[in-house]
A and B are shown apart, each in its own frame.
Chain A
Amino acid sequence: MSVLEVPVLSVKQLNKQYGNGCSTCNYMKLGKVTKNYCHECGTVYACRGVTFDLHHGEVLGIVGESGSGKSTLMKSLYFDEEVTDGDMYVAGFEDGKKNLFMESAQKKRFVRNHLMGKVYQNPILGLKMNFSSIGNIAEKLISAGNRHVGSMETRGAELLEAVNIPIHRMKEEPRNFSGGMQQRVQIAKALSNNPPILLLDEVTTGLDLSVQASVLDLIKGLQRDLNISIVLVSHDLGVIRMLADRTLVMLEGKVIEQGLTDQILEDPQHSYTQQLVHSLL
């Protein structure tokens, strides 16, 4: 690794709040909030000063309890939600020098369509359930500028094969599929235009153990073969242990601890992380 290597994705001081805030809670550090909620005005501080870098070919795990801001962070990174403030730089866009959160909606869409892929926890959010599976994959390719049916069909079939969906079912709508299959179609869609950054939001939550294992296997394999960078959100430490090189621990919207995954799991420093690791069955 060269000393001068630029991160693929760099996030600085990302803040996301729901609500306007009031004089009681306005000052981030001094304000009075219970957990991340203000009793005066009902404002929720979902992400508070989240900062991290994602390097080439790295898997970055994010753990934390429900409501700790993991999913909000992922939504912000994929521009599903507008952030309150903060910076985000992507290596493939303007040499990673422009803050993407300040760019126009078109530029954001370009980055989303060309440089990113996302797998949502709930397949309904990531797939069009009444379009065919191959159509879902084509959607991503079309938005990246492809206008050739033949090449999109070949690419789609190739990807569905890679995620173990039988080719004879590729023209079927994902609503006919089981949860695990839907999740795999989502992964195929996210990978369709070889994005350098893949965002995975609780991909295995709610799947049974054997399907979980095959989805994890698939992600690991793809990551090794294609050398993509992944941000992986999960509250399952087993998943994190298996996939993530480095891990952030979030609590009440803040990153409370970060480091190599082994280090976090073997020698947790923050009391919440200690509790989390000890409650691992």
Chain B
Amino acid sequence: MNKTYNFAFFDEGSKREIRRATLKAIAIPGYQVPFASREMPIGRGWGTGGLQLTLSLIGKDDVLKVIDQGSDESVNAVNIKKLVSDTTGVRTTESTADASLIQSRHRVPEVPLQRDQILILQVPLPEPLRNFEPSEQETKKLHAEREYSGAWLMLFEQIMKYGIMATDADHPVMVHDRYVMAPSPIPRFDNAKLDDSEALILLGAGREKKVYALPPYTNVSSLAFDDYAFEIESFTNHACILCGSNDLFLDELVDGESGETYFQCNDTSNCLEMVNQKQISGVK
């Protein structure tokens, strides 16, 4: 552990400021709380919001997992893990079930979260109405007055243009029938995992200087029309080439040599666990 820095990189005042914003965010589910986003040793837009939440919350007994689009081993995830463990000395893990603190970019893990876990999502654009209304002053008013026609209008436009709601990721959700919230660019497949979650979910946007939260057991529903229901990505007739799962979120990949496409689990640690389990039961 690197002793040149204070525990968890930040000075205590910074941690307190971020925790204060976090507490407010938890008290008002789905409401974007502005906070004094710090300069970080990584660039803004590379997960600084999530990292600041992680650093302000982490304690000596925590076990940390960092995921970057489902992968534990991508450069971003590895570097964030290194920074945190170097300045705190906490243990890191790849298993979702073992972790007490999970920082993630654009995915909610496939293994259901438990009540003593905290999921931290990195958010690039926290404002669900931004494409509809460029002014922050105006969007604040719209949130205050619960005026969300803009969010529905953007979905309506997609239906007019493409015949379906074409949000790949970041499909807006209504939190506890009050605030419309950007769930960070998680696939629509993961939206359902936010609803009534047992774990606390925190969302941090470092560049946009906002923190928001979904406390455990919050109602989260994806926006939809009466005649156009919300639909998740479908992987019918496809299964993971490694573990054989067909009910999880899969990536479509192309074999460089044969040019054929195949599917593989997006959540790498879960896939590995499934493969291991199979081999163990195979040995029996």
Q: Which of A109, A139, A150 contacts B153 (CB 8 A)?
A: A139
Q: How far is the CA of A143 from the CA of B160 in the complex (A)?
A: 18
Q: Is A135 part of the binding interface, using a Cβ–Cβ cutoff of 8 Å?
A: yes
Q: Check if B147 sits within 8 Å of A135, measured CB to CB.
A: no
Which chain A residues border B228 with CB–CB below 8 Å?
Answer: 149
Q: Check if B147 sits within 8 Å of A149, measured CB to CB.
A: no
Q: Is B241 part of the binding interface, using a Cβ–Cβ cutoff of 8 Å?
A: no
Which chain B residues border A106 with CB–CB below 8 Å?
Answer: 145-146
Q: Check if B157 sits within 8 Å of A149, measured CB to CB.
A: no
Q: A105-B141, A148-B225, A149-B227 are in contact. Are A132 and B147 (CB under 8 A)?
A: no
Q: A109-B147, A143-B149, A171-B160 are in contact. Are A149 and B141 (CB under 8 A)?
A: no
Q: Is A152 part of the binding interface, using a Cβ–Cβ cutoff of 8 Å?
A: yes
Q: A105-B145, A148-B227 are in contact. Are A171 and B153 (CB under 8 A)?
A: no
Q: How far is the CA of A131 from the CA of B149 in the complex (A)?
A: 13
Which chain B residues border A132 with CB–CB below 8 Å?
Answer: 157, 160-161
Q: How far is the CA of A216 from the CA of B160 in the complex (A)?
A: 30
Q: Check if A142 sits within 8 Å of B226, measured CB to CB.
A: no
Q: Check if A138 sits within 8 Å of B141, measured CB to CB.
A: no
Q: Is B262 part of the binding interface, using a Cβ–Cβ cutoff of 8 Å?
A: no
B152-164 near A? 1/0 per residue, CB < 8 Å? 1100110111000
Q: A105-B141, A143-B147, A171-B160 are in contact. Are A135 and B227 (CB under 8 A)?
A: no
Q: How far is the CA of A35 from the CA of B196 in the complex (A)?
A: 63
Q: Does more than half of chain B's interface fall in helix, strand or loop, or is it mixed?
A: helix
Q: Which of B149, B150, B160, B226 contacts A148 (CB 8 A)?
A: B226
A169-194 near B? 1/0 per residue, CB < 8 Å? 00100000000000000000000000
Q: Check if B141 sits within 8 Å of A147, measured CB to CB.
A: no
Q: How far is the CA of A105 from the CA of B145 in the complex (A)?
A: 7
CB-nearest residue of chain B relative to A105?
B145
The interface size bin for chain A is 10 to 19
Which chain A residues border B147 with CB–CB below 8 Å?
Answer: 109, 143
Q: How far is the CA of A11 from the CA of B150 in the complex (A)?
A: 31
Which chain B residues border A135 with CB–CB below 8 Å?
Answer: 153, 156-157, 160
Which chain A residues border B146 with CB–CB below 8 Å?
Answer: 106
Which chain A residues border B153 with CB–CB below 8 Å?
Answer: 131, 135, 138-139, 142
Minimal beta-carbon separation of B132 from chain A (angstroms)? 8
CB-nearest residue of chain B relative to A171?
B160
Q: Is A73 part of the binding interface, using a Cβ–Cβ cutoff of 8 Å?
A: no
Minimal beta-carbon separation of A106 from chain B (angstroms)? 5
Q: Give chain A interface residues in 96-152, CB to chain B under 8 Å.
A: 105-106, 109, 128, 131-132, 134-135, 138-139, 142-143, 147-150, 152
CB-nearest residue of chain A relative to B147?
A109
Q: How far is the CA of A117 from the CA of B159 in the complex (A)?
A: 25
Which chain B residues border A152 with CB–CB below 8 Å?
Answer: 156
Q: How far is the CA of A142 from the CA of B159 in the complex (A)?
A: 14
Q: Which of A105, A131, A142 contacts B152 (CB 8 A)?
A: A142
Q: Check if B149 sits within 8 Å of A139, measured CB to CB.
A: yes
CB-nearest residue of chain A relative to B150?
A139
CB-nearest residue of chain B relative to A104?
B145
Q: How far is the CA of A148 from the CA of B155 in the complex (A)?
A: 12
Q: Give chain B interface residues in 133-187, CB to chain A under 8 Å.
A: 141, 144-147, 149-150, 152-153, 156-157, 159-161
Minimal beta-carbon separation of B100 from chain A (angstroms)? 40
Which chain A residues border B226 with CB–CB below 8 Å?
Answer: 147-149
CB-nearest residue of chain A relative to B141?
A105
Minimal beta-carbon separation of B8 from chain A (angstroms)? 42
Minimal beta-carbon separation of A244 from chain B (angstroms)? 32
Q: How far is the CA of A53 from the CA of B161 in the complex (A)?
A: 44
Q: A105-B141, A109-B145, A142-B149 are in contact. Are A147 and B157 (CB under 8 A)?
A: no
Besides A106-B146, A143-B149, A147-B152, 16 new A-B residue pairs in contact (Cβ under 8 A), listed by A number: A105-B141, A109-B145, A109-B147, A132-B157, A135-B153, A135-B156, A139-B153, A142-B149, A143-B147, A147-B225, A147-B226, A149-B226, A149-B227, A150-B227, A153-B160, A171-B161
Which residues from chain B sit less than 8 Å from chain A, CB to CB?
Answer: 132, 141, 144-147, 149-150, 152-153, 156-157, 159-161, 225-228
Contact sample, A vs B, 27 pairs, CB 8 Å cutoff: A105-B144, A106-B145, A109-B145, A109-B147, A131-B157, A132-B161, A135-B156, A135-B157, A135-B160, A138-B153, A138-B156, A139-B153, A142-B149, A142-B153, A142-B156, A143-B147, A147-B225, A147-B226, A148-B226, A148-B227, A149-B225, A149-B227, A149-B228, A150-B227, A152-B156, A153-B160, A171-B160
